Chain A
């Protein structure tokens, strides 16, 4: 067991004008994750500390925080990776509701705007017949699934938004996770909403705002590689533009 100094950024909207730092001495077990230390503070030292967490196994995406200035999923980050002092702050680039809890509405709004669901032009008779025949959803081959599966592994932890230099400076930017998810549905063989999504993707503050810093992919705890999705969407936009330029009806 080793004692570490955990410095948590506190903010109480009823009392504090601005966030402040508070130190805690925590006896850390060697197998602890950073989240265990925060939970220890909450349970044993100061019950007023507010933070989000749930599954403790890097699935729910709730416990994202800045650990020594880097966005981390704290349930996946070993306490042994750090020295005697660890600074824990709320996710960068987000308004802070309280202590380590950030405002999610902006993220959810961006997320929703890319239509992250399967869009069908209209329910077709063939679709209904297939649905009844297979007693399941629209069929898809393993090869078709492989084209987008990576982008469907996002757990909405928002670390990519915290790492992105464009998100920090351009409020209109849809951001890495939302674009990656929209791109995932664009690549889904069952989807017919590509034109609707591309109208959103190719407007102001969208894929072309990305400067390919690649930070989103570096910090992603699930190896979704959102920078790849954003830049693939960018590449496709350029190809479509070129097609529209040289081919009648864009080659459709």
Chain B
């Protein structure tokens, strides 16, 4: 293994009579495919953190007037910003797919007197809602509605 876990991980409530070796975890724990997916899932939080600054900057530009807003719009056409937005899109899609795959089994077995719907139906409902909201927002942003 080779990488120390927390020194008190799974420690007995009272020290035993025998000296024990401290708990360890595999040194390559992060490279196992499933854990890598989990770490990527969590790491997408960094992307949302960064884009929140961009969103705040855009709101501030909106408050400063048309000149500032046009400057921001011009800056967003830079390849770096486009790449960042592609990264955001990939992150959101990845998080949604992983979250949707794990969501059905987190449902309580009974909700009052009712059973939750089958996992396949929950999956379909989640994707329908996701695509529906995306379509409505796209239509709003494109000026098709409102």
Contact = CB atoms under 8 A, between A and B. Distances in A.
* Secondary structure class of chain B's binding surface, majority of residues: loop
B117 interface: no
Contact of B108 (A169, A171, A215, A232): A232
How many residues of A sit at the interface, in one of the four size bands? 35 or more
Interface in A139-178: 147-148, 161, 165, 167-171
* Secondary structure class of chain A's binding surface, majority of residues: mixed
A97 B20 contact: yes
Interface in A212-252: 212-215, 218, 225, 227-228, 231-232, 234-236, 239
Interface residues of B, number: 35
Contacts of B28: 69
Interface string B84-126: 0000000000000000001001111111000000000000000
Contacts of B19: 13
A213 B26 contact: no
A106 interface: yes
Contacts of B20: 13, 95-97, 103
A171 B21 contact: no
B21 A69 contact: no
Interface stretch (A22-30, A39-47, A86-94): A86-94
Nearest to A105: B12
B16 interface: yes
B25 to A, nearest CB: 5
Contacts of A187: 109
B16 A103 contact: yes
Contact of B110 (A106, A147, A218): A147
Pick from A94, A95, A235, A239 the residue with the most CB of B within 10 Å: A95
Given A169-B5, A235-B108, A92 B24 contact: yes
A54 interface: no
Given A89-B1, A213-B38, A94 B23 contact: yes
A239 B109 CA distance: 13
Interface in B1-39: 1, 5-6, 8-14, 16, 18-26, 28-29, 32, 34-35, 38
Contact of A94 (B10, B18, B38, B107): B10
Contacts of A89: 1, 24
B26 A92 contact: yes
A98 B19 CA distance: 9
A208 interface: no
B128 to A, nearest CB: 21
Nearest to B34: A218
Nearest to B104: A228
A116 interface: no
Interface string A49-72: 000000000000000001001100
Nearest to B26: A69
Given A93-B25, A95-B12, A106-B13, 10 more contacts: A92-B1, A96-B22, A105-B14, A161-B10, A168-B29, A187-B109, A212-B106, A218-B34, A232-B106, A235-B108
8 contacts: A13-B21, A92-B1, A168-B9, A171-B6, A214-B102, A225-B105, A231-B106, A236-B108
